[in-house]
Amino acid sequence: MSLEWKARFAGVPLVHWMAVVFVIGLGLFPITLALLRLWAVTGITPLGALTTVHDQPGAMEAFRFSLFEAAASTGLTVLIGLPLAWAFGRYQWRNIQLKRALLFLPFVTPPVVAAVGFLALISPGGLLYSMGLDLRGESGVIGFISTSTGWQHPGHFIALVVAHVWFNLSLMIRFVEPVVAQLDPTWEEQLALLPTGQTAFGRVRHLWLPVLGPATLVAATYTFFFSFTSFALVKWLAPSSNTLESLLGEMGGTAGIPGYRIETSLAVLAIATFQMLLMLVMLILAGRFERRHSQVLAMHHEGRNRERHGPASRKWNWFVNGILVMLLAPLLSVVLASFRVRKVGGNGATSQWTFEGWRRAWNGDFSTVPLMDALTNSLSYAFIALLVALPLGYAVASCLVTLRQQGFERTAGVLDSLCMLPLSMSAVMVGLGMVAGILQWFPEMFSFPYLPAVPHVMLVLPFVIRLMVPAIERIDPIFAEQASLLPMSKMGFWWHSRGAFLVVPATMAASLCLAFSMGEFGASFLVVRVGSWDSLSILVDQVASRPKFDPYVFPTAMALATILMLVTLLVLSINERARAWRSRHDV
């Protein structure tokens, strides 16, 4: 029996099925190979290794630390983010587009830039340090807290939690703000006329909690997830502690080699299995909350809602603008620190403004790849990730939506979860899959110049799918019906019934692909350790890790981080401009 290329199964074209199989394979293949390799090296099954996880050096400590810092980060993110999203969604704001872009900025900032940015804030000469908060050296108030409570390194913990809040506030805005902005105002007005709505507590209980609860839960779950799997920020801001992710990152490079440090391979196998199970549970929870969130409410016109509530009060203005300034602080610190060199001499510490850091960053040295090579690598990986992930993500999303529309809900659910696997494995696990999986079984892949792009594709694909699925679901099928009645080519049919409606989500997905790939650190950290594919984020880490007796190490690292930040922003703004151009020429 021959297979028709245009054949459809359950209403889904064959080519979309192939994309689904490829994506699931891409997610499962490296980590399965890695687990098989570690199993072969240690002689212990992944489940067997799981029972030894509490015996692995540092594993339980890392688990407790991951749990505490993620819980604290999530709590603080909700505490600050909820009123921020509420005020931002409710009132009229001047330059709202700009403010929204600024609030979104941390989420697309490369983690290593954020890490060195916070480092600049808390290091001697930094803003927080100058305010008497020594989170790094833990003197003064922080030192007092440490000695009086016996808490080891509270400064590191606080710095890490603040950085996680900085990163994840945009998630609260992303999920909660639209609900507030588009809520039917008559609900609030009706409640105010009923006895239960006479008190603030009553209004919170009967309106705001049910309305904002699901969106907040989704944002909180993702915040917990990202904080739990944090790597670059932990490495730089809390060097005395490990999350499970950073522990794997430390040990993963040498795992899977037969006869060499078997105990490391066993530890990696145990911790990786443990973390994978935890991530899977979190992802299932996040998916459930997200479905509940998407079921909420008939939405109202945002502009009219804002008009009804008018401009924000002075109190809210201070709050929102204050947070915006704080969000910019670490990024500005990076730029400032790249021009400032701090020397300790006989007269104590002195600061000087200089271009030496930039000169060194530009010229490079013999111990790292040249800047332009790293930049070229980063851009190449980012564009490969974009070119592969966008069409693949679209095909998978289209398949999932068609299956749901055809009534195959359960199949769509299972496939959806399988396609999300790379997300449940975290960046370091994906890197581990490459190093201990693919490279150990297929060493000839060492010569493949674009190897680091593979984990980038894996990591961005779930985000592309997540953006595309609701966008495709929202397209009214009547456009396809109308198009089918008009004389147009197949391409024209696709464009007018699908493509034109996906320009905005596709641009958003492209921005995320580019930004995530440019800033990707966890997987690259493991992969480049065994090869020579240094990206710009790895170069920042390499330079910043050098001993600091050379006063120019820090400014050089900051100059590299500034370049990474600027290139990322430049790529994103070109992408956004392309979208604006496209929409201007469409209508």
Partner 1 sequence: MMFELQKGAVRLGQWLVFESLDLRVEAGEIVSILGPSGCGKTTLLRACCGLERLEEGVRILDDEELQNATIHPDITMLFQQPVLYPHLNVSQNMALGAGTNVSKTQKKERIQEVLDAIGLEGFELRGVAGLSGGEAQRVAFGRALMQEPKVMMLDEPFASVDVKRRLALAAMTRTHLKNRNITALHVTHDLEEAKTLSDRIIHWKDLAVGSQGRGESVDE
Q: Where does this chain bind partner 1 (CB under 8 A)?
A: 478-479, 481-489, 492, 496, 500-501, 503, 583, 586-587
Strand partners, 8: 13
* Beta-carbon contacts of residue 50 (< 8 Å; ≥ 6 apart): 270, 273, 274, 277
Contact assessment for residue 516 and residue 460, using Cβ atoms and an 8 Å cutoff: yes
Query: Which string of DSSP letters, residue by residue, matches 363-383?
Result: H--TTS--HHHHHHHHHHHHH
What is the C-alpha to C-alpha distance for residues 546 and 152, in angstroms, rounded to an integer?
Answer: 25
- Could you give the angle at the alpha carbon of 512 between the alpha carbons of 507 and 516, nearest 5°? 155
Three-state DSSP at 299 gives strand
CA distances from 234 to 74, 156, 226 (A): 16, 9, 12
Identity of the residue, 47 or 485, whose beta carbon is nearer to partner 1 in the bound complex: 485
Identity of the residue, 477 or 547, whose beta carbon is nearer to partner 1 in the bound complex: 477
Q: What is the DSSP letter of 258?
A: T
Identity of the residue, 102 or 475, whose beta carbon is nearer to partner 1 in the bound complex: 475
What is the C-alpha to C-alpha distance for residues 213 and 89, in angstroms, rounded to an integer?
Answer: 15
Identity of the residue, 76 or 483, whose beta carbon is nearer to partner 1 in the bound complex: 483
Query: Which string of DSSP letters, residue by residue, matches 186-214?
Result: HHHHHHHTSGGGSSHHHHIIIIIHHHHHH
Query: Please, what is the minimum distance in Å from the beta carbon of residue 477 to partner 1?
Result: 10
What is the C-alpha to C-alpha distance for residues 554 and 540, in angstroms, rounded to an integer?
Answer: 10
What is the C-alpha to C-alpha distance for residues 360 and 105, in angstroms, rounded to an integer?
Answer: 28
What is the C-alpha to C-alpha distance for residues 271 and 57, in angstroms, rounded to an integer?
Answer: 10
The dihedral region occupied by 159, where left means phi > 0, alpha psi between -120 and 50, and beta the remainder, is: alpha
What is the C-alpha to C-alpha distance for residues 368 and 419, in angstroms, rounded to an integer?
Answer: 36
Identity of the residue, 147 or 484, whose beta carbon is nearer to partner 1 in the bound complex: 484
Query: Please, what is the minimum distance in Å from the beta carbon of residue 479 to partner 1?
Result: 6
Query: Please, what is the minimum distance in Å from the beta carbon of residue 574 to partner 1?
Result: 21
Identity of the residue, 4 or 586, whose beta carbon is nearer to partner 1 in the bound complex: 586
Query: Please, what is the minimum distance in Å from the beta carbon of residue 481 to partner 1?
Result: 6
Identity of the residue, 339 or 479, whose beta carbon is nearer to partner 1 in the bound complex: 479
Identity of the residue, 257 or 483, whose beta carbon is nearer to partner 1 in the bound complex: 483
Query: Please, what is the minimum distance in Å from the beta carbon of residue 19 to partner 1?
Result: 25
Task: Return the structure tokens found at 554.
Answer: 């820090």
Tell me which amino acid residue 423 is: L
Query: Please, what is the minimum distance in Å from the beta carbon of residue 302 to partner 1?
Result: 16
CA distances from 311 to 306, 424, 530 (A): 8, 41, 55
Query: Please, what is the minimum distance in Å from the beta carbon of residue 585 to partner 1?
Result: 10
Query: Please, what is the minimum distance in Å from the beta carbon of residue 518 to partner 1?
Result: 30
Query: Please, what is the minimum distance in Å from the beta carbon of residue 572 to partner 1?
Result: 23
Query: Please, what is the minimum distance in Å from the beta carbon of residue 416 to partner 1?
Result: 25
Identity of the residue, 351 or 484, whose beta carbon is nearer to partner 1 in the bound complex: 484
Identity of the residue, 484 or 573, whose beta carbon is nearer to partner 1 in the bound complex: 484
Task: Return the structure tokens found at 118.
Answer: 């916070």
Identity of the residue, 94 or 584, whose beta carbon is nearer to partner 1 in the bound complex: 584
Query: Please, what is the minimum distance in Å from the beta carbon of residue 587 to partner 1?
Result: 5
Rounded to 5 degrees, what are φ and ψ at 566?
A: -65, -40
Query: Please, what is the minimum distance in Å from the beta carbon of residue 583 to partner 1?
Result: 8
- Could you give the angle at the alpha carbon of 224 between the alpha carbons of 521 and 22, nearest 5°? 55
Cβ atoms < 10 Å from Cβ of 103: 23
What is the C-alpha to C-alpha distance for residues 156 and 293, in angstroms, rounded to an integer?
Answer: 35
Map tokens 């040498």 to a residue: 254
Secondary structure, 3-state, 323-343: HHHHHHHHHHHHHHHHCEEEE
Identity of the residue, 8 or 548, whose beta carbon is nearer to partner 1 in the bound complex: 8
Rounded to 5 degrees, what are φ and ψ at 348?
A: 90, -160
